[in-house]
Amino acid sequence: EVQLVESGGGLVQPGGSLRLSCAASGFTFSAYWMTWVRQAPGKGLEWVANMAERERGGETNYVDSVKGRFTISRDNAKNSLYLQMNSLRAEDTAVYYCARHRVGGREVEFWGQGTLVTVSS
């Protein structure tokens, strides 16, 4: 059974940093694109960043609003995905979902339960 468990969310002041983690199990982690998608309270979904599987050299993509502030990374030996978030802003407040792409696809097939990040003074 595919499982994705996020951790690391919480309350942080504007300008602060936070590192989200996602522990993956039930599949060959290194073989899949992985993604972070966020959802502000009461709002829709926004793709934040994704990262390619090992065979594609770990290519990364970011939405413009987080470029230069967020870094996605993965540790295939630990079956883990990360999102380092720096220079956080109020508008980054959201539930952050760790997610696995469908094999060879550009959509999310499996989602974690999400972790809430609140940026506020």
Partner 1 sequence: EIGMTQSPATLSVSPGERATLSCRASQSVTTKLAWYQQKPGQAPRLLIYNAFTRATGIPARFSGSGSGTEFTLTISSLQSEDFAVYYCQQGYNWPWTFGQGTRVEIK
Distance CA 48, CA 45 (A): 9
- The single-letter DSSP state of residue 4 is E
- The single-letter DSSP state of residue 76 is T
Burial per residue of 2-30, b for 16 or more beta-carbon CB atoms within 10 angstroms, e otherwise? eebebebbeebeeeeebebbbbbeebebb
The CB-of-77 to partner 1 minimum distance in angstroms stands at: 26
The CB-of-121 to partner 1 minimum distance in angstroms stands at: 27
- 27 near partner 1 (CB under 8 A): no
- Residues 77-116 interacting with partner 1 (rule: CB under 8 A): 97, 99, 102, 105-109, 111-114
Q: Which is nearer to partner 1, 77 or 107 (CB)?
A: 107
The CB-of-21 to partner 1 minimum distance in angstroms stands at: 17
Q: Which is nearer to partner 1, 23 or 63 (CB)?
A: 63
Q: Which of 21, 61, 76, 84 binds partner 1 (CB under 8 A)?
A: 61
Neighbours of 31 (CB within 10 A): 11
